[in-house]
């Protein structure tokens, strides 16, 4: 099993729809989790940290399921500007692992 | 108010010709990282500095070296670039390592090897 695994997509979603994707991780000792957004040929930018209790920031909701070892990102009322690659990052204290990312295309 | 700055943004070098990429930060973070990212792949950590302590990833080729002369600056030296080293090189910083540390990335330097 890969250390951090994401569905590469692309997810093609009409504007205004809700979309969700998951990221699974193999190290049960992993302690912190993040979602980054990366636009084409740009650097990754932190979207949100993922806490055990789940967290919400506007249209974005992130959740952590430790039992099943995955994190999720939900985007509501998607906008054209949400089109990007979403990278999952898992930190086990001494190691930071990036997923390959999930590509999201919002269609007008 | 750029926080992590990388220069140059685009670098073209010849096969085997040494090249240096630079990164500076205004965040006063303790940790600086260098990543290599190829198309459609995840960023791959090459090494990081915690203050002056250098931490090399086990699979980072010897061809890649780094220097951190002070808190603000960190350099990536590629001694003999090969065609396979063409990639985006990302510098990142974080306040500390370990649980909960968030990384802030620079805009990257895209390296082309001819």
**With an 8 Å Cβ cutoff, is A76 touching chain B?**
no
| pLDDT at position A54 | 85
pLDDT recorded at residue A90 = 92
pLDDT per residue as tens, chain A (108 positions): 678 999 999 999 999 999 999 999 998 888 889 999 999 989 999 999 998 888 999 999 999 999 999 999 999 999 999 999 999 999 877 778 899 999 999 999
Cα–Cα distance between B20 and B78 in angstroms, integer? 6
Q: What is the pLDDT along chain B (114 residues), one digit of tens a residue?
A: 669 999 999 999 999 999 999 999 999 999 999 999 998 899 999 999 999 999 999 899 999 999 999 999 999 999 999 999 999 999 999 988 776 688 999 999 999 999
Query: Which is nearest to A93 in space by CA: B96, B20, B76, B91?
Result: B96
pLDDT at B104: 92
Query: B86 by DSSP, 3-state: which?
Result: coil
Q: What's the pLDDT score for residue B2?
A: 67
**Closest of A69, A101, A66, A72 to residue A84, by C-alpha:** A101
pLDDT of residue A5: 94
Q: Which residues of A touch B40 (CB under 8 A)?
A: 8, 100
Confidence (pLDDT) at B64: 97
Instruction: Give the pLDDT of residue A2.
Output: 77
Q: Do B110 and A96 touch (CB under 8 A)?
A: no
Cα distance between residue B26 and residue B18, in whole Å: 27
Q: How far is B63 from chain A (nearest CA, A)?
A: 22
Tell me the two tokens of residue A73: 């990102």
Contacts of A86 in chain B (CB under 8 A): none
Note whether A93 contacts B99, CB cutoff 8 Å. yes
In tens, the pLDDT along B79-106 reads 999 999 999 999 999 988 776 688 999 9
B105 min Cα distance to partner chain A (Å): 6
């Amino acid at each position: 099993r890969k250390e951090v695994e994401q569905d590469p997509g692309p997810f093609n979603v009409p504007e205004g729809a809700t979309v969700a994707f998951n990221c699974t991780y193999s190290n049960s000792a992993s302690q912190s989790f993040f979602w980054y957004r990366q636009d084409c040929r740009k650097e990754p930018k932190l979207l949100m940290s993922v806490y055990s209790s789940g967290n919400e920031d506007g249209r974005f909701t992130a959740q952590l399921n430790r039992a099943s070892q995955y994190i999720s990102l939900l985007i509501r009322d998607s906008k054209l500007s949400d089109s990007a690659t979403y990278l999952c990052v898992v930190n086990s204290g001494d190691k930071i692992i990036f997923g390959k990312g999930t590509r999201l295309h919002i269609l007008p | 108010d750029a926080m992590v700055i990388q220069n140059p943004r685009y670098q073209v070098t010849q096969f085997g010709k040494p090249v240096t990429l630079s990164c500076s930060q205004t965040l006063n973070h303790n940790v600086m990282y260098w990543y290599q990212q190829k198309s459609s792949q995840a960023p791959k950590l090459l090494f990081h500095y915690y203050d002056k302590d250098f931490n090399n990833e086990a699979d980072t080729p010897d061809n890649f070296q780094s220097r951190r002369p002070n808190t603000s600056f960190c350099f990536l030296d590629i001694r003999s670039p090969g065609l396979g080293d063409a990639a985006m090189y990302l510098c990142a910083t974080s306040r500390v390592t370990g649980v909960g540390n968030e990384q802030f990335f620079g805009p990257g330097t895209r390296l082309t090897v001819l």
